[in-house]
Structure 1
Amino acid sequence: MHAWPASEVPALPGKGRDLRIHDTATDGLVTLDPGPVARIYVCGITPYDATHMGHAATYNAFDLVQRVWLDTKRQVHYVQNVTDVDDPLLERATRDGHDWTELAERETALFREDMTALRMLPPQHYIGAVEAIPGIVPLVERLRDAGAAYELEGDVYFSVESDPHFGEVSRLDAEAMRLLSAERGGDPERPGKKNPLDPMLWMAAREGEPSWDGGSLGRGRPGWHIECVAIALDHLGMGFDVQGGGSDLAFPHHEMGASHAQALTGEHPFAKAYVHAGMVALDGAKMSKSKGNLVFVSKLRRDGVDPAAIRLALLSHHYRADWEWTDAVLREAVERVGRWRAAVSRPDGPSADALVEEIRAALADDLDAPSALAAVDRWAVLQEAEGGTDEGAPGLVSRAVDALLGVAL
């Protein structure tokens, strides 16, 4: 599966700072110190609907992570999946009378268009669950043969008790896990499971649903968590730098994925840091496909909204914060991009060297994009009020905003 085209990242003078970021597993800030190649895995979409602002906010956060790393002169190895077969996708296709593969392909294509418009840097490896199945099957067989998984009426479940580190990612108690498992795709009430929290690794073929050859597992399709584990281990290996996604993925998805990988390899941790973006609400409730309270990136673009303004609306909130999308948020972003473009359109201006360092410092401090935006605002106000004599300043500001914030002026 191919990703989307990469926008050029301008080179800036000097060198950026190492990133200090919040790690869910320790509930504290950690300073990441990758080697020459930083490794990041971000969980992708289930393509049964268009990209909404909650998706965009999540991918914006991890785009900033990449940009901070690139500014430290590192390379970035970024991997993202597409869950192109799963219950929600099949249910939506059935509801709307569409072929599920055509629905997945159409929505994945639209997602690529949205990411391109928002100048999100693409992954080096963009892998669909279906194409990953040949690599998933042997992992499930290994877990089963090692006693870390068991069969139940043809399905194969992972035993959470096989990983001594289970629970360390989300740090939740058993009751909270059980409630979230039921809410987020698990089946804690199914009779016969060794532990209610045990997640499915391989679902035996159901009538009327797609299935694939699973070797000794029989025909079926993979569970959600093992999909990402197979892709991450194949392309990044154990101990990669950041596992990213929305805060609703901490449990069960990232918790289970870590345990799968740790049981498979005997190594710990799966990822050095687990980083989670906050949720975006609309009309007082978290945006979700099931509720239908969504603001789509593609709809805003069709309505003529500048993608740079959409991105600035996202950047105006800290990535870990839960916040609400409103017309006022978008209106302020449209006004801001107008002010910034007017400021950098002049032939000269106040020196911008200190501004570049302010942006770098803000982003290195747990991706504090709102502070970075405030710094650019101050330079733009000074430019409007007093101007300056530095002929290179407007160009440097434009390049810095593009390179570090992903906003093209």
Structure 2
Amino acid sequence: MHAWPASEVPALPGKGRDLRIHDTATGGRVTLAPGPVARIYVCGITPYDATHMGHAATYNAFDLVQRVWLDTKRQVHYVQNVTDVDDPLLERAIRDGIDWVGLAERETALFREDMTALRMLPPQHYIGAVEAIPGIIPLVEQLRDSGAAYELEGDIYFSVEADPHFGQVSNYDTQLMRHLSAERGGDPDRPGKKNPLDPMLWMAAREGEPSWDGGSLGPGRPGWHIECVAIALDHLGMGFDVQGGGSDLIFPHHEMGASHAQTLTGEFPMAKAYVHAGMVALHGEKMSKSKGNLVFVSRLRRDGVDPAAIRLALLSHRYRDDWEWTDQVLETAVERLGRWRAAVSRPDGPSADALVEELREALSDDLDTPTALAAVDRWAELQTAEGGTDESAPGLVSRAVDALLGVAL
């Protein structure tokens, strides 16, 4: 599966700072100091209704992580999946009376278009669940053969008790885990399971649903969590720098994925930091496909909204915070974009060297984008009020805002 084209990231004078970021597993900030190549895995979409503002906010957050790393003169190895076969996708295809493969291809193509318009840096490896199945099967067999998984009416389940570190990503109590498991695709009430929290690794073929030859597992399709584990281990290995996604993936997805990988390899942890973006609400409720309260990037673009303004609307909130999308949020972003573009259109201006360092400091401090935007606002206001004589300043501001914030002026 191919990703989307990469926009050029301008090189800035000097060197950026190492990223200090909130780690869900420890509950505090960690300083990430990768080697020459930083490794990041971000969970991708289930392509049945893309791309809403919650998606955009999540991928914006991890785009910023990459930009901070690139500014430290590192390379970035970024991997993202597409869950192109799963119950929600199949249910939507049945509801709409269309082929599930066509639905997945259509929505994935739209997602690529939105990511390109928003200037999100693409992954080096963009892998669909279906194409990952040949690598998933041996991992499930390994877990089963080692006693870390078991069969129940043809389905294969992972035993959470096989991982001594289970629970150390979310740090949730059992009651909350069970509630979230039921809410987010698990089946804690199924009779016969060793532990209600045990997740499915391999679903035996169901009538009327797609299935693949699973070798000794029998025909079926993979569970949700093992999909990402197979892709991450194949392309990044254990101990990669950041596992990313929305906060709704903390449990069960990232918890279970970590346990799968740690049990398979005997190594801990799967990722050095688990980083999660907040949820975006609309009309007081979390923006979600199931509720249908969605604001789509593609619709805003069709309405003539500049993608740079959409990105500035996302940047106006700290990535970890839950927030609400409103018309005012977008109007403020449109106005800000206009001010910034007017400021950099002049032939000279106030020195921007200090601004570049302010941007670097704000972003290295747990991706503090509101502080970063405020710094550019101050430079633009000074440019409007007093101007300056530095002929290189407007160009430097444009390059810095592009390189670090992904906004083209």
TM-score, length of structure 2 as denominator length: 1.00
- Give the structure 2 partner of residue 332 of structure 1: 332
Structure 1: distance between partners of 2:296 and 2:402: 23
Task: Look up the SS of the partner of 1:272 in the other structure.
Answer: strand
Structure 2: distance between partners of 1:173 and 1:369: 32
Structure 2: distance between partners of 1:179 and 1:89: 23
Mapping of residues 241-320 of structure 1, within 5 Å: 241-320=241-320
Mapping of residues 141-220 of structure 1, within 5 Å: 141-220=141-220
Instruction: Give 1:353 shift.
Output: 0.1
Task: Look up the SS of the partner of 1:5 in the other structure.
Answer: coil
1:113-147 CA-to-partner distances (Å, cap 9, x unmatched) read: 00000000000000000000000000000000000
Question: Is 1:92 aligned to 2:82, yes or no?
Answer: no
* Percent of aligned pairs with the same amino acid: 90
The code of the aligned residue for 1:344 comes to V
- Give the structure 2 partner of residue 120 of structure 1: 120
The code of the aligned residue for 1:229 comes to V
The code of the aligned residue for 1:140 comes to V
Structure 1: distance between partners of 2:212 and 2:34: 38
1:54-92 CA-to-partner distances (Å, cap 9, x unmatched) read: 000000000000000000000000000000000000000
- Give the structure 1 partner of residue 376 of structure 2: 376
Task: Look up the SS of the partner of 1:178 in the other structure.
Answer: helix
Structure 2: distance between partners of 1:212 and 1:80: 22
CA-based RMSD: 0.2
Task: Look up the SS of the partner of 2:41 in the other structure.
Answer: strand
Task: Look up the SS of the partner of 1:376 in the other structure.
Answer: helix
Task: Look up the SS of the partner of 2:5 in the other structure.
Answer: coil
Structure 2: distance between partners of 1:368 and 1:116: 24
Instruction: Give 1:4 shift.
Output: 0.1
1:170-196 CA-to-partner distances (Å, cap 9, x unmatched) read: 000000000000000000000000000
Question: Is 1:401 aligned to 2:404, yes or no?
Answer: no
- Give the structure 1 partner of residue 228 of structure 2: 228
Structure 2: distance between partners of 1:49 and 1:270: 30
Structure 2: distance between partners of 1:76 and 1:137: 29
Task: Look up the SS of the partner of 1:292 in the other structure.
Answer: coil
The code of the aligned residue for 1:214 comes to G
Question: Is 1:72 aligned to 2:53, yes or no?
Answer: no
Structure 1: distance between partners of 2:6 and 2:141: 37
The code of the aligned residue for 2:345 comes to S
Structure 1: distance between partners of 2:334 and 2:176: 41
Structure 2: distance between partners of 1:50 and 1:131: 20
Unmatched runs of 5 consecutive residues or more in structure 2? none
Instruction: Give 1:299 shift.
Output: 0.2
Structure 2: distance between partners of 1:116 and 1:27: 33
- Give the structure 1 partner of residue 240 of structure 2: 240
- Give the structure 1 partner of residue 13 of structure 2: 13
1:281-310 CA-to-partner distances (Å, cap 9, x unmatched) read: 000000000000000000000000000000
Structure 1: distance between partners of 2:96 and 2:329: 33
Task: Look up the SS of the partner of 1:213 in the other structure.
Answer: coil
Question: Is 1:50 aligned to 2:50, yes or no?
Answer: yes
- Give the structure 1 partner of residue 360 of structure 2: 360
1:149-188 CA-to-partner distances (Å, cap 9, x unmatched) read: 0000000000000000000000000000000000000000
Structure 1: distance between partners of 2:167 and 2:351: 50
Structure 2: distance between partners of 1:163 and 1:33: 27
Structure 2: distance between partners of 1:165 and 1:56: 32
1:208-253 CA-to-partner distances (Å, cap 9, x unmatched) read: 0000000000000000000000000000000000000000000000
Task: Look up the SS of the partner of 1:156 in the other structure.
Answer: strand
The code of the aligned residue for 1:363 comes to L
Task: Look up the SS of the partner of 1:64 in the other structure.
Answer: helix
The code of the aligned residue for 1:128 comes to G
The code of the aligned residue for 1:106 comes to R
Structure 2: distance between partners of 1:4 and 1:271: 26
The code of the aligned residue for 1:305 comes to V
Structure 2: distance between partners of 1:30 and 1:269: 14
- Give the structure 1 partner of residue 350 of structure 2: 350
1:300-353 CA-to-partner distances (Å, cap 9, x unmatched) read: 000000000000000000000000000000000000000000000000000000
Instruction: Give 1:50 shift.
Output: 1.9
Question: Is 1:389 aligned to 2:389, yes or no?
Answer: yes
Task: Look up the SS of the partner of 1:203 in the other structure.
Answer: strand
Structure 1 segments, 4+ long, off by >4 Å, are: none
The code of the aligned residue for 1:163 comes to D
Structure 2: distance between partners of 1:50 and 1:108: 7
